[in-house]
Structure 1
Amino acid sequence: MESFKIKTGIYFGEGSLQYLKEIKSKRVFIVTDPFMVKSGAIDKVTEMLQDVEYTVFSEIVPDPPIELVVRGIEEISKFNPGVLIALGGGSSIDAAKAIMDFSKKIVSLEKMEFIAIPTTSGTGSEVTSFSVITDKKKGTKYPLVSDDLLPDVAILDPELVKTVPNVITADTGMDVLTHALEAYVSTDATDFSDALAEKAVVLVFNNLLEAYENGENMKAREKMHNASCLAGLAFNAASLGLNHGIAHVLGGKFHIPHGRTNALLLPHVIEYNADITGYSNTNFSEAAKRYCNVARILGLPSSNPRMGVRSLINEIKKMQKQMNMSTTLKSCGVDTKDVQSLKDEIGELALLDKCTKTNPKVPTKNDVIKIVEIIME
């Protein structure tokens, strides 16, 4: 027996921040990053909190470390709020999830309403039971997975993403695409997750370049925000795959933005998963057929899985080029000698990552190393 559940209530479109006026609690704890405060973006949230006492924990940094979560737990336990609001990108939402969950378990705080407000269109963290926390000492990212991490409410207001720089728009947009494609070929994929993933892919291909080139286009921004959420719902149900398994390790070791790391890997992981060998072989894998179906949905040449997979990979590479994205670790500023010295550890850690378990093709350590070597330089 299988199941599909959506716990999070989703408010989307321009003006959706108005939902915050409905908050009944008198105490609100806001988790965000310093830029949200400095830029004034947080004012769009606080001005909606009428007759409410609130405090702001604005220490969130990219790849939030365990120590930061501990500080957040200390602050939230002092304030004892009825509502927790996470404002920001994936790092802020992930940190807020960990702070909320551990504060209930460690200091026995009562249940808080958890509202997630993403300010980038990428992680889908506002509707997922995943949180990624970094152990800086070990240089490793740890995915936490629990339905207790799911927000009660997600607010997708495109007003909060219209000023996102085009470089971040590219990184986060490719993260959305990776989420959708990995969910689509996951061994845990269902008809329900497929529907969400397919729609997310179409929205990305139809709107990402426009959002990158013209950030003021609110329609493109809104569609990418929705795509991010849809892809989040898809992978929350179906999980992900090897792309994320490797990306978590590379991001932890070399501090490359998560979406950029996913984009580096995506064409090569698709080729690996499709596992098409020889022009005479017509015994195509299920993953190859699924990638081909994506190509068909996008209107790309796809008369057979071999052509469909190649068309999809080429279209992804074309989009990366149009957005001036790095395609190698070296172009991301990583010393390839460091990668070489750590490749065995990278291979081992990627196989242990929870996301890798649902990859359509069971990888070996050598498979991981070969993929990493392809993207080195």
Structure 2
Amino acid sequence: MNRFSVKPEVYFNEGSIEYLKTLKIDKALIVTDDMMVQVGVVDKVAEVLKSNCNEYKVFSKVKPDPPVEIVAMGVKVMTSFNPDIVIALGGGSSIDAAKSIIIFAANMMNKIGTSYKKPLFIAVPTTSGTGSEVTNFSVITVEDKKFPIITNELIPDVAIVDADFVKTAPPKITADTAIDALTHAIEAYVSTKASDYTDALSEKSVKLIFKYLLSAYKDGTNIKARQKLHNASCMAGMAFTNASLGLNHGMAHALGGAFHIPHGRANAILLPYIIKFNANIELGVENEVARRYAELSRILGLPSSNVKEGVENLIFSIKVLLRETSTPSTLKEVRINKEEFLEKIEVMANNAMKDRCTITNPRIVCLKDIIKLYLEAYEG
């Protein structure tokens, strides 16, 4: 028996942050990072809250790939302040941190027998890529190792997908996050848990990203392109929270934990190599996974007279997208020291094998395969 979840409630388009005005709020906790405070994004949300919130507090200590120590600090703030609403404001790290803070606070309070009412959880993404505002995933870091947490308790109650919060994102962030969303959509499409429901979301997301990424990358003020990318990221999140992901994310998590490469960039570099590996068409053998990739190629209007041509053109079109957005195509280009890379490669491969995302990869993978893929991605 398969399952498809449609939580959370999503408000979208520019100005949808006004939804907050419809709520009666006693205390709100805003979970974010210091940059959001410095550039005035937190003030923008605080202004909306002025008319209907008695008190709000800002926890702005979130770091990229949130360390468990930061989550613990957030839990302390959460349990002492006891908000009725938590607003996660930022990219994937801020939303992931808020998810972990909420669930760990609830578990802690329940264990000590203290009465605890889970707050309404609202996610406001400021990047178009992670889809974390609609997913049951969270990633925290413990001693340089990324740990995915997967439970439906992590899904926010409300997502506000407002392009006004992404229009100032710099081009590099725009590219990294959008290609992260593209990876979500493609991996969900070929996942062993893919379904008709997730396919529809993945297909539309892939089309929107290919159509609007370059416009948003070249002109951040193009609000239509920004909103389309924001929507695509959210839909890709809905797809993968139901279908899960694959080896691309398993390897990216391990790579990011070891070398602190931005998550979207790690996914972008790996994506062409993973598609080629999963499709496995070198010997001319057509398989269901290759056919799925070729179908995406056809949907994008790329030449796909046969499966091999479709897969090759999908890979080629992704490489063009990377080139047009000045995204590195090899790990060597992100200045990872080769000696250190080779020292850590087996540990990374082991971590990727154990990663929960790898479970739903469409092709069975072994340790040697992952090591080979890392080496290919390093040299190109």
1:190 is the counterpart of 2:192: no
- Matched with 2:181 is 176
Question: Which residue of structure 2 aligns with residue 35 of structure 1?
Answer: 35
Pair 1:117 & 2:124 matched: yes
1:266 to 264, 271, 278: 271
Other structure's SS at 1:115 match: strand
CA distance in 1, matches of 2:341, 2:365: 19
Report the counterpart of residue 306 of structure 1 in structure 2: 308
Structure 1 counterpart of 2:238: 233
Secondary structure of the equivalent of 2:105?
helix
**1:307-326 equivalence runs, <5 A:** 307-326=309-328
Distance 1:245 1:102 in 2: 24
What per-residue deviation string (whole Å, max 9, x for no partner) do you get for residues 237-292 of structure 1?
Answer: 000000000000000000000000000000000000000023xx3x4111100000
2: CA distance, partners of 1:230 / 1:350: 25
What residue in structure 2 maps to residue 74 of structure 1?
76
Q: CA deviation at 1:345?
A: 1.1
Choose from 67, 82, 107 the match for 1:65.
67
Secondary structure of residue in 2 paired with 1:375: helix
CA contact under 8 A between 1:329 and 1:336: conserved in structure 2? Answer: no
- Look up the equivalent residue of 1:221 and give its one-letter code: R
Describe the SS at the equivalent of 1:237: helix
Counterpart CA distance in 1 for 2:109 and 2:30 is 18
Deviations along 1:173-220, whole A, 9 cap, x unmatched?
100100000000000000000000000000000000111011110000
Verify the 8 A CA contact 1:293 1:308 in the aligned structure 2. yes
The residue identity in structure 2 corresponding to 1:11 is: Y
User: 2-side partners of 1:285 and 1:174: how far apart?
Assistant: 26
Where do 1:264-343 residues align within 5 Å?
264-278=269-283, 281=284, 283-343=285-345
Matched, 1:162 2:164: no
Displacement of 1:347 in angstroms is: 1.3
Aligned to 1:242: 247
Mapped partners of 1:359, 1:39: distance in 2: 39
| Alpha-carbon distance between aligned partners in 1 of 2:309 and 2:353, rounded to the nearest angstrom | 29
2 CA distance for matches of 1:74 and 1:326? 40
Alignment partner, residue 146 of structure 1: 151
Query: Hey, what's the Cα distance between the residues in 2 that align with 1:177 and 1:87?
Result: 22
1:22 matched to 2:22? yes
* Secondary structure at the counterpart of residue 258 of structure 2: helix
Structure 2 gaps of 5+ residues are 111-115
CA-CA distance at 1:51 after TM superposition: 3.6
Give the aligned CA root-mean-square deviation in angstroms.
0.8
Output the CA distance in 1 between the equivalents of 2:52 and 2:325. Answer: 44
Displacement of 1:105 after TM fit? 0.8
Please say if residues 279 and 311 of structure 2, whose CA atoms lie closer than 8 Å, have aligned partners that are also in contact.
yes
Match of 2:137 among 130, 135, 151: 130
Matched, 1:207 2:212: yes
One-letter amino acid of the counterpart of residue 264, structure 1: I
Question: Which AA in structure 2 matches 1:79?
Answer: F
Size of the aligned set, in residue pairs, is 372
Using the TM superposition, give the Cα deviation of residue 4 of structure 1 relative to its aligned residue in structure 2, in angstroms: 1.1
Contact 2:258 2:344 in 1 (8 A): no
- Which deviates further from its counterpart, 65-74 or 105-114? 105-114
Query: In the TM superposition, what is the alpha-carbon distance from 1:168 to its structure 2 partner?
Result: 0.5
- CA shift, 1:60, in A, is 0.5
Which whole-Å CA distance do the structure 2 matches of 1:3 and 1:152 have between them? 19
CA contact (8 A) 1:89 1:123 kept: yes
8 A contact 1:247–1:262 mirrored in 2 = yes
SS of the residue corresponding to residue 131 of structure 1 reads strand
Question: Aligned with 2:221: secondary structure?
Answer: coil
> Normalization by structure 2: what TM-score?
0.97
2 CA distance for matches of 1:346 and 1:67?
Answer: 22
Q: Tell me the equivalent position of 2:113.
A: none
Quote the Cα distance in structure 1 between the aligned partners of 2:370 and 2:301: 31
Query: How much does 1:25 deviate?
Result: 2.4
> Which residue does 1:95 correspond to in 2?
97
CA contact (8 A) 1:72 1:99 kept: yes
Residues 23 and 52 in structure 2, CA contact (< 8 A), matched pair in contact too: no
345-354 or 115-124, which deviates more: 345-354
TM-score, normalization by structure 1: 0.98
- When structure 1 is superposed on structure 2, of 100-109 and 202-211 the one drifting more is 100-109
Identity %: 52
Asked if the contact 2:24/2:52 (under 8 Å) is kept, the reply is no
